[in-house]
Structure 1
Amino acid sequence: MKNKVSIFLLISIIVMGGATSNANDKEFVSRKDQQFIRHGKPYYFIGVNYWYGGMLAIGKDSVRGKERVRKELDFLRSKGVTNLRVLAGSEGRGLVNGVERLKPSLQPAHGQFEPEILRGLDFLLSEMARRDMVAVLYLSNNWEWSGGFLQYLNWNKRISDSTMKSKMSWDGLRDNTSLFYSCEPCMEDYLRQVELIMSRVNTYTGRPYVEDPSIMAWQLANEPRPMRAAAVANYKKWILSTAAHIKAKDKNHLLTIGTEGIMGTDESADLFREVHALAPVDYLTVHIWPKNWQWFKGTDVNSQVDEVIRRSEEYIARHVSIAGELRKPMVIEEFGLPRDGHSFSPKSKTTARDAYFETIFSAVRKSHQTNDVIAGCNIWSFGGRARPRKGQLFWREGDDFMGDPPQEEQGLNSLFDSDTSTWKLIKSFADIISPKIP
């Protein structure tokens, strides 16, 4: 099996690897070797994660939600932000892994879709097009907070309802999620939702998604990991078959996997290199999580920020080397750090975070100056006009969405519109890296 898979990958790379994506259509973001091209020029960017952006214009108060979208997009554009990473659709309802998941869901029950949910994404994309912004849309999730792979496994009886709702250990979560790549009906269910999204015609513009240049790329999922060594062969097969399937249906848009990098492939640089060498995969992604990866201890972020920066620079350098070998762009598409003192309050300072962000932005700026492989970065995560509720740690239905998903403390990594020092820093780099605002 291993040899067959390797031969399959090699053939894919030889047959398709020399292709340049979307080279003849300047409206779409394309790739020429290790650079993105937009409007006929190299495209480098500072962006944000705005995962909930497609959910704001729907629900009980859609008027207020639409107004929030407009104001937040105006704000982001004024700071030079041109690139948003957005969740395209979620799965299931109820508790998952012991926590609330986000609502409403595109597929609340097995095979039962609520297409009206996508009107929110329609609105977001239409407003982004007005502002010359582009979105990376990720199509599912390795993690529980939007249903994702665990929900497909539950629907297909690979994990029980009680297991689904209870809090799993880390090993239990890895064991369960890794089953996705050997569950044929799970992968078929995933593709049904993907095709629903990709076949969408925007109700505001009348433009099919596959013909919409405000979409930069499709992303297979948020942080898909094999989770266990036994799943690696099936993980590689799933990436290749799914990427090829999407590319066959859409010749206009870029495609990427959504990995965290080497950390997401159980620290296997070879596996990370192999899946990103696949011809349908246009670019590499890297996520950096100093808190989750225990690169600092306790709540005193400030005294340890130099170590966080050192380790982040090393992590980026390892991936730059691989991207250079593959001659494909690389995006640092998630990176975050708590506020000073590990506070969740928007009123607290962001001294350590600003120093950390400056390191990431400097790497993008240097790459921009030398036409190198780091094409951009997306901060995790934009909290915009939302604010945490006093005395309430986690998200509840009816609360405003912000950058922190439901399973995380609200305010943990959110970048609010009131974070003046951070936005001043962002704009100073975006003015150099990104296209100037008309």
Structure 2
Amino acid sequence: MADMEENAWAMVQKQGKQFVANNRPLYVNGFNTYWLMVFAVDQSTRAKVSEVFQQASSVGLTVCRTWAFNDGQWRALQKAPSVYDEDVFKALDFVISEARKYKIRLILSLINNWDSYGGKPQYVKWGKDAGLNLTSDDDFFSHPTLRSYYKAHVKTVLNRVNTFNNITYKDDPTIFAWELMNEPRCPSDSSGDKLQEWIEEMAVYVKSIDPNHLVEIGLEGFYGPSTPNRVQFNPNTYAQQVGTDFIRNHNILGVDFASVHIYADSWISQSIDDSHLKFVKSWMESHIEDAEKVLGMPVIFGEYGVSTKDPGYNSSYRDKVISTVYTTLLNSTKKGGSGAGSLLWQVFPEGTDYMDDGYAIVLSKTPSISNIVSLHSKRLATFNSLCSWKCRWGCKKKHRLEELDHHDEL
């Protein structure tokens, strides 16, 4: 039985436009909880890590995206370049081992574009402290010393041996994928060349250390100069000027799947409006189409949500946004397409309200969302459990699918 369980917990791989595990499709219903490592450091808050995994698991969520970085700040993992706090690293060990207990896989992000938890501004500060002549946070992408700082962090994390289960991170199937950076932007170079070179170098570098895990960039999904025919789908004109380029950035060696974020309420207008729902649908459909026809890879919508702080916010509107995301994905899933999953921003347990940025969802306090999430999880489980990769949705099991509850809705 132990061997069977171990075999069932296989490394996630990519075959064409789909994720697979044990030679079966793997469609993702997941969530974000970025602060797990920091909470796990302190024994008084460590139980919240287990609590959020338990609650997420109870509604069928199977993938969590969280930070594998905290640079130079309070409870820092990396106190200075290549100088680590072992207690914080042990906290990350705990997060990974605990996720495995609840059969939740992790997408681990390796640095932030923003200054929260240090990020690229902290790397630039370290560089200045070392006497480097740096004029912009975007020097992070181009200066060889800062690139070496990042590479050293990648190497340390990937080669870390978990003190709870003795499994090296790069060998642990609990880890779904490595994310190069949370929401990389390089507005000092709107051509996109500077960021493109960084992505090309770092994706291959991660793969050189760990060829077994999937790699994604962490992009928000803005279309750039390489696809002028697609910029019409961007939420605003500024999106073309931040140095990212969805198609070009993903069409490189070492990147396994595409990442897209969805924030109509911060990109278009904070006031709640039905036009937001239309944007969510068209934004998703354009990226699913590009992932299928141009990139030939899966796409995960790695962050999406609605802030309770938005003017005109109401809970039924948030329910509509989540349902729109799920329905759009299911339209792809039914065809075996590239729409591979989504990750709610963000799922919190009770008693963590002081960390809420407006987007936090406490499942135990929001039964309508819990029901929507749970039903979507059941629908995806139908595809994940009954259809092997080789059948490509056309096998004899089709009749069994038709007999299942909710199949008409699927």
Normalising by structure 1, we get a TM-score of: 0.77
Distance 1:297 1:78 in 2: 32
Q: Which residue of 1 aligns with 2:18?
A: 35
Q: Indicate if the aligned counterparts of 2:67 and 2:108 stay in contact, CA closer than 8 A.
A: yes
Q: Which residue of 2 aligns with 1:56?
A: 39
1:350 to 315, 323, 329: 315
Q: Indicate if the aligned counterparts of 1:339 and 1:351 stay in contact, CA closer than 8 A.
A: no
* Structure 2: runs of 5+ lacking an equivalent: 1-6, 226-238, 386-410
Q: Which residue of 1 aligns with 2:390?
A: none
Task: Quote how far apart the aligned CAs of 1:36 are.
Answer: 0.2
Code of the residue aligned with 2:25 in structure 1: it is P
Code of the residue aligned with 1:315 in structure 2: it is W
* Structure 1: runs of 5+ lacking an equivalent: 1-23, 94-102, 165-174, 390-401, 403-409
Code of the residue aligned with 1:85 in structure 2: it is R
Q: Which residue of 1 aligns with 2:230?
A: none
> Percent of aligned pairs with the same residue?
25
2:49 to 50, 56, 69: 69
2:62 to 82, 85, 88: 82
Q: Which residue of 1 aligns with 2:377?
A: 430
Q: Indicate if the aligned counterparts of 2:299 and 2:339 stay in contact, CA closer than 8 A.
A: yes
Q: Which residue of 1 aligns with 2:405?
A: none
2:283 to 315, 318, 322: 315
Q: Deviations over 1:396-424 (max 9, x none)?
A: xxxxxx4xxxxxxx341111131111111
Aligned length: 361
Give the match's secondary structure for 2:97. Answer: helix
Task: Quote how far apart the aligned CAs of 1:138 are.
Answer: 0.4
Distance 1:336 1:126 in 2: 28
Q: Indicate if the aligned counterparts of 2:111 and 2:120 stay in contact, CA closer than 8 A.
A: yes
Q: Which residue of 1 aligns with 2:167?
A: 207
Task: Quote how far apart the aligned CAs of 1:272 are.
Answer: 1.7
Q: Which residue of 2 aligns with 1:12?
A: none
Q: Which residue of 2 aligns with 1:284?
A: 258
Q: Deviations over 1:267-305 (max 9, x none)?
A: 389932122111210000000111221x2344xx2xx1x
Q: Indicate if the aligned counterparts of 1:82 and 1:134 stay in contact, CA closer than 8 A.
A: yes
Cα 1:270/1:225, change in 2 over 3 Å: closer
Task: Quote how far apart the aligned CAs of 1:208 are.
Answer: 0.5
In the alignment, structure 1 residue 328 sits paired with structure 2 residue 297:
yes
Q: Indicate if the aligned counterparts of 2:68 and 2:92 stay in contact, CA closer than 8 A.
A: yes
Give the match's secondary structure for 2:290. Answer: helix
Give the match's secondary structure for 1:229. Answer: coil
Q: Indicate if the aligned counterparts of 2:309 and 2:358 stay in contact, CA closer than 8 A.
A: no
Cα 1:379/1:336, change in 2 over 3 Å: same
Q: Which residue of 1 aligns with 2:137?
A: 177
Q: Indicate if the aligned counterparts of 1:340 and 1:353 stay in contact, CA closer than 8 A.
A: no
Distance 1:39 1:78 in 2: 23
Q: Which residue of 2 aligns with 1:122?
A: 93
Normalising by structure 2, we get a TM-score of: 0.82
Moved more, 275-284 or 380-389: 380-389
Give the match's secondary structure for 1:371. Answer: coil
Code of the residue aligned with 1:202 in structure 2: it is N
Q: Which residue of 2 aligns with 1:393?
A: none
Cα 1:326/1:155, change in 2 over 3 Å: same
